[in-house]
Structure 1
């Protein structure tokens, strides 16, 4: 028994690291494990933009052959090993929005030149493998090309780290290079909260532009629906501030539209009075997974206003269930995270909502929920053991149907058998709720969820961590196969949904199409208005593009 508990304790640490790093965080610290393979490879051919950028932005441009240590530090800020494998020709690290605009203006000139050459040679953009530039806020995506440009220019927003609370304490202005811990370190002592990330080093920019699910989403909606204004550098190099009254279409398009319109340099977000919250993990053995999924299903029904005449507990954040197979220990473990966004009446006991849930009856070998500050809650997610390793994920969406949830688990279990041959691999299945009543709160967004359904949804996410680059293609194919099989099961039951949470998507997925035709048309119209030449569609690699002929996040033309 002692040996088993010791193994379980190790597994617990692994689960925390794998799941929370994979789904809710980015690397930041230079103390992360150093990268050797990619960073020590020969630098790419000097980019034609490097000299122009250096002349216009002195001391802001890093080159591998000249600025080795700083260059490697920037590359090591990526979460995944695949992203760290990508060597940029130059890294620009602007300190102001004006410097971002200068870089974009220079890049746009090169983009226009290339477009002219392609027209003269009767070549389409998709026929060239040239990569012009990428933009990185936090760098959490494991997709290698989501925020990196092999042989091209990386605009690294690391130094845009402003956190300024308005005098009326109703908004906070946040630089696009911030992580959420930067924000909460300012807000917590002031007794303020924000609809932000659930782990301390998740980047503000990608999280917010993709939607952003928070502990406070049941009360206030998604992160994107709580942004008063965006400061945006457009393809022309012009800097605009998009609000509900100034550039309103751009303001709305940025609420889920990702990086299709320009580079956001700062966000002004709603903030609110905030008390300490109750949060933490429950760790249970894998054989409790059916009970855990039943508890998740039932808890979602209890917060569904359509089932409860609008009388729901908005302080109960969505429960998040992670089911993980730790290959090296041959163990299946459940990491269940629960949050209640105000202290319970009896601080040493669970809040009544969670006391009455099935989670309180799980057989568990450890738990951490307690009353703590928001910054303490997100710091619990910190675990650096898997930063820099190879990672992959994918996602789909189902309705809150217990039979479908159990079928998803069966699909996952079946697939794990085929992957056990790999070394250093961890398999993760995560389910968490997203209710239409939540996404309808705050400002209008582009996700189209509450327009398409009035029943609760479950976001199903997969994540894998493994050791060898030789397994990259295999893991990718297995991930896609699992997602497609889950979709087939859900569609057969009539419990599937087209929405895909953008921040959890793999490169082959098309989340913008799940927003609905009307929203997709609006996004395309806004992109055409603010970026008529398609710089961010064709010149900027990464993200999920809008134009049919633009490139996807893997750099290949979309059909």
Structure 2
């Protein structure tokens, strides 16, 4: 392994005059370059490379192979698994590649690998278009897309990867290629769900949808005693949504009061009159905070930004639940959550969120049609714990896993191997740690992924995501 300063001086020479930057710990801007959304994911890399073109990425990957340098790829820096940070090697930071191009006639959006969702939403809105993006707009397009991608428009248009038409990708060999339904279709199958294991995606092209009108959306905050009625509404939502709505709801104790509350984020892709009727049962519960309004679509994915600031240590976790839910069961989960967070210092901004995003459209694509394997008649439940004391790192991770396991099993989502291979894994990869078995994320697709890993990355250069070990293809004569 080569990690000396002399090695990175050689890389600087190779990239000289290209527009790419190579930052080492003594470089101006290095400190900012290793910042991450979660402080526990910040690591002092030996060097940070900021390419501006696919050729820069290719040059860097070839250099990495030659000098056997460990590396990671950073898009938006939102991963809480630490997969975009490294101490003993190099970061390929795509943040200088943020160009977005919209073709209004073809209804496509092309976004470079370092874009965030705000870049996409704002540019597409200029043409009255949108695609399925994340619910926090400073999330990276690359990370969310390569892992699947749920958003407010999923009820109408499916997952982000269901709207992905093609990618430009730099492979482990340094070769730049395109993957789509018609070009390298096996690679396109793999990257839609497991893309971080196969290369550096430098460009995404998405299908765009007409979105000329504003939407109804906002936050409703309730006191905890309203939880049974909110669960009842979620059960009703499951039966009445036409795909144009979304309901996110869960628990937290946010500032300034730092007291337990039930948060709901509601969305309707249409007018306020219909929304007032559809969400009438919630609105009638007299929320202590109501920010709902008609807003431009490009503002929608920024509504939750204030709950996702860049301070503190954070840990995502994911599971699944089915509706209807029993309010008594949900109140027990609230109790477990509050017992843990209130007993530890500065954990009040932690969140448990039931993501009631309609899944009918998502189910139109089978779990065998791409590597993503979390399609089923269930919804995602997520935790995002936030804390400041490094001594709590392991304790938080273990509690998150236990709470989500309890929620998923008691909420009717069975996750044994037999069911996982047929109905969907019940675990969203973007909410998972990298140390869990590939079968928990990819189910019955894990074997095929290992074979494709052998084809496209036989030396396992991209080894920092969910662990896919290349499986040689056995040829029987």
TM-score normalised over the length of structure 2: 0.88
Tell whether the 8 Å contact from 2:155 to 2:359 is kept in structure 1 after alignment: no
Cross-structure match for 2:289: 366
What secondary structure does 1:236 align onto? Answer: coil
Distance 2:296 2:413 in 1: 44
Query: Quick one: which of 27, 30, 55 aligns to 2:13?
Result: 55
Cross-structure match for 1:459: 380
What secondary structure does 1:432 align onto? Answer: strand
Query: Quick one: which of 336, 339, 363 aligns to 1:414?
Result: 336
Query: Quick one: which of 35, 39, 42 aligns to 1:81?
Result: 39
Query: Quick one: which of 265, 271, 276 aligns to 2:214?
Result: 276
CA 1:195–1:494: 2 relative to 1, 3 Å: closer
Q: CA deviation at 1:487?
A: 4.4
Tell whether the 8 Å contact from 2:438 to 2:467 is kept in structure 1 after alignment: no
What secondary structure does 1:402 align onto? Answer: coil
Tell whether the 8 Å contact from 1:258 to 1:544 is kept in structure 2 after alignment: no
Cross-structure match for 2:400: 479
Q: Which of structures 1 and 2 has the larger relative contact order (alpha carbons within 8 angstroms, sep 6+)?
A: 1
Q: CA deviation at 1:492?
A: 9.6
| Unaligned ranges ≥5, structure 1 | 1-43, 112-130, 304-312, 550-559
What secondary structure does 1:98 align onto? Answer: helix
Tell whether the 8 Å contact from 2:168 to 2:204 is kept in structure 1 after alignment: yes
Cross-structure match for 2:135: 198
Tell whether the 8 Å contact from 1:256 to 1:445 is kept in structure 2 after alignment: yes
Distance 1:474 1:210 in 2: 26
Tell whether the 8 Å contact from 1:49 to 1:107 is kept in structure 2 after alignment: no
Distance 1:380 1:492 in 2: 30
Query: Quick one: which of 331, 347, 351 aligns to 1:428?
Result: 351
Cross-structure match for 2:228: 290
Cross-structure match for 1:334: 262
Counterparts of residues 18-37 of structure 1 (less than 5 Å): none
TM-superposition CA deviations, 1:315-357 (whole Å, max 9, x none)? 22x210021135984621122111111234x4xx7354333xx
Cross-structure match for 1:72: 31
Query: Quick one: which of 445, 456, 461 aligns to 1:530?
Result: 456
Cross-structure match for 1:521: 447
1:236 aligns with 2:173: yes
Cross-structure match for 1:314: 243
Distance 1:335 1:290 in 2: 13
Counterparts of residues 217-236 of structure 1 (less than 5 Å): 217-236=154-173
Tell whether the 8 Å contact from 1:397 to 1:458 is kept in structure 2 after alignment: yes
Tell whether the 8 Å contact from 2:454 to 2:470 is kept in structure 1 after alignment: no
**Higher deviation after alignment, 387-396 or 377-386:** 377-386
What secondary structure does 2:458 align onto? Answer: coil
TM-score normalised over the length of structure 1: 0.76
Counterparts of residues 84-233 of structure 1 (less than 5 Å): 84=42, 86-111=43-68, 132-143=70-81, 145-166=82-103, 168-233=105-170
1:382 aligns with 2:305: yes
Distance 1:260 1:93 in 2: 20
TM-superposition CA deviations, 1:471-514 (whole Å, max 9, x none)? 22222222223233334534699999732111112344446534
Tell whether the 8 Å contact from 2:320 to 2:413 is kept in structure 1 after alignment: no
Tell whether the 8 Å contact from 1:279 to 1:369 is kept in structure 2 after alignment: yes
What secondary structure does 2:202 align onto? Answer: strand
Distance 2:134 2:268 in 1: 15
Q: CA deviation at 1:286?
A: 1.5
Q: CA deviation at 1:79?
A: 0.3
Cross-structure match for 1:122: none
Cross-structure match for 2:238: 300
Cross-structure match for 2:474: none
Distance 1:142 1:385 in 2: 12
TM-superposition CA deviations, 1:216-257 (whole Å, max 9, x none)? 111111001111100000011000010111100111211111
What secondary structure does 1:533 align onto? Answer: coil
Tell whether the 8 Å contact from 2:107 to 2:209 is kept in structure 1 after alignment: yes
Distance 2:323 2:436 in 1: 22
CA 1:282–1:492: 2 relative to 1, 3 Å: closer
TM-superposition CA deviations, 1:127-155 (whole Å, max 9, x none)? xxxx7000000011222x21011121000
Tell whether the 8 Å contact from 2:94 to 2:113 is kept in structure 1 after alignment: yes
Query: Quick one: which of 368, 372, 380 aligns to 1:447?
Result: 372
What secondary structure does 1:258 align onto? Answer: helix
Q: CA deviation at 1:411?
A: 3.3
Q: CA deviation at 1:446?
A: 2.6
CA 1:376–1:209: 2 relative to 1, 3 Å: same
Tell whether the 8 Å contact from 2:130 to 2:210 is kept in structure 1 after alignment: yes
Question: CA RMSD, aligned part only?
Answer: 2.7
TM-superposition CA deviations, 1:199-226 (whole Å, max 9, x none)? 2211100011111111111111100111
Tell whether the 8 Å contact from 1:505 to 1:511 is kept in structure 2 after alignment: no
State the number of aligned residues: 458
